[in-house]
Amino acid sequence: MYSLSNVVRQHVEKGYVYRIDRELDPELEPTKYIMKSDNAGTTLLFKVRGSTLECVSGVINTREKLYEVLRVSRDEDAYSKVINSLNSRSRQSLREASFRENYRELSSSALSLPAIKFYSVDGGRYITSSIVIAKTPDLDSYNASIHRLMYLDNQRFAIRLVPRHLYSIYETNRKAGRDTEVAVVIGAHPIVELAASISPPYGVFELEMVGNLGGEPLEVVRTPKYGIPVPARASVVMEGRITRELVREGPFVDILGLPDRVRDQPVLVVDSVYVPREDPEYFHVILPGGNEHMLLMGFPREAAIWDSVRRAVPKVKKVRLTKGGGMWLHAVISIKKVAEGDGKTAIMAAFAAHPSLKHVVVVDDDVDPDKPEEVEWAIATRLQAGKGLVIIHHARGSTLDPSSEDGLTDKVGIDATAPLNRREEFIRPIVE
């Protein structure tokens, strides 16, 4: 069963879990504890004042935890699961059950949810793990994606819509004079959250990919008012409408550890709040800019880069979106070079696979992308800028990059691979 509590239970058995016994102030206090847990790779349990729901953070704040839930031990197997889930999804991977047998309505309002103000510069209290599911108005399908929610009052949140699929759905409905009916899921199994982070082509329902990622069908239920399919086990399910009303949303410290700018964003009006009828689940809290945020957001793009580069060059040894680049802007790729030009080919394939990528370094297979000093050594000893640099001016990048001009940026690829005809001159001696 895709239950977050099952994952937490496994973490307890492995000794990953640390619990705070007292209630925390939702204004700033949880952040220091989550940061400490994040750096240690542990899973944190805590409660905040004003909510009865128990929070969990750090569910997949290490690559090892992510691979455990995917039931793999190697990068290639994890990447393959992500890529294959795009190619072999099926509605048969969903099993329908009864909503009323799984959920009951929460008598209190959205005020009772443990929204947190993480940083002093934040514009308010936020929910950071919310999966928003909406019907595609022009296709017989749904879209599921993760969006931050800024608490406004007992029934309203500001929702950040980036210009991708949910934004397109919202715009189609807005132009037709309609609100966008949604279900918001909080505290889902990490494989469900990973699926909602993948961004498949428009019209592909992300929940249909869960079965291939997790190895068994996902049980779903349909919400009472709008009939939207949601996972049968989650901490909270909200039904609501993304309205045409706009409010100021932000600032919000995002994945690069910098405040995202204030924007006019739509208001999400909450109609109903539901919680599990039986055992409660955990309310998932993702630290903005933390390891869990980076892995959920960045890992599907890492898989896409791996898939794109392996189609362009014979052998890819390792791909890493680096923590210094927020697992978003910077990549290091090690390849087994067999022909001159493979380094630049890998660079172009990486940029094509992940349009937000700003800088990419390609190294030989004797250099470990997980070791920054080895990557720097390769740049120092194997790069000649006149031959190895690829510069792309004024290309579409990421609006999260504050040095960009509304997302337009200069991109740099660094081919730090050794020339094949002099390869032996660039090999470090092995001490036995």
Share of the chain above pLDDT 70, in %: 99
* C-alpha torsion sign, points 122, 297, 215, 318: negative
Cα 61 from Cα 34, distance rounded (Å): 11
Report CA Rg, the chain.
Answer: 22
User: Which of 332, 333, 255 shows the shortest CA–CA distance to 292?
Assistant: 255
Annotated catalytic residues are: 254
Residue intervals in the chain for CATH 2.30.110.10: 72-278
Task: Report H helices in 337-416.
Answer: 342-353, 372-382, 385-388
pLDDT level of residue 265 (50, 70, 90 thresholds)? very high
- Count the neighbouring beta carbons within 10 Å of the beta carbon of residue 87: 9
Mean of pLDDT values over 23-37:
97
Mean pLDDT of 12-36: 95
H or E stretch covering 103: strand 103-105
Which positions ≥6 away from 12 have C-beta within 8 Å? none
pLDDT of res. 92: 64
Give CA–CA dist 110/108, Å, rounded. 7
How is residue 41 written in tokens?
């790779």
Average pLDDT over residues 386-394: 96
For residue 421, pLDDT beyond 60: yes
CATH, range 72-278: 2.30.110.10
Q: How far apart are the first and last CA of the chain?
A: 49
303-323: average pLDDT: 97
The 3-class SS string of 144-187 reads: EEECCEEEEECCEEEECCCCCHHHHHHHHHHHCCCCEEEEEEEC
User: Looking up tokens 């640099």, which residue turns up?
Assistant: 389
Q: What is the reported pLDDT for 106?
A: 85
* Domain limits, CATH 3.40.1670.10, in the chain: 313-426
Angle ∠(224,229,234) on CA atoms, nearest 5: 90
Provide the pLDDT confidence category of residue 343 given band limits of 50, 70 and 90.
Answer: very high
pLDDT of residue 86: 83
Which CATH architecture best describes the domain 313-426? 3-Layer(aba) Sandwich (3.40)
The C-alpha angle with vertex 248 and arms to 152 and 143, in degrees rounded to 5, equals 75
| Mean of pLDDT values over 14-33 | 95
106-123: per-residue pLDDT in tens? 876 777 899 999 999 999
CA trace torsion 235, 112, 289, 32 (10° rounding): -110
Report the C-alpha gap between 155 and 144 in whole angstroms. 22
pLDDT digits (tens, 9 = 90+) for 174-188: 999 999 999 999 999
| Both structure tokens of 154 | 């007992």
Please report the pLDDT score of residue 110 as a whole number. 76
Q: Band the pLDDT of 90: cuts 50, 70, 90.
A: low
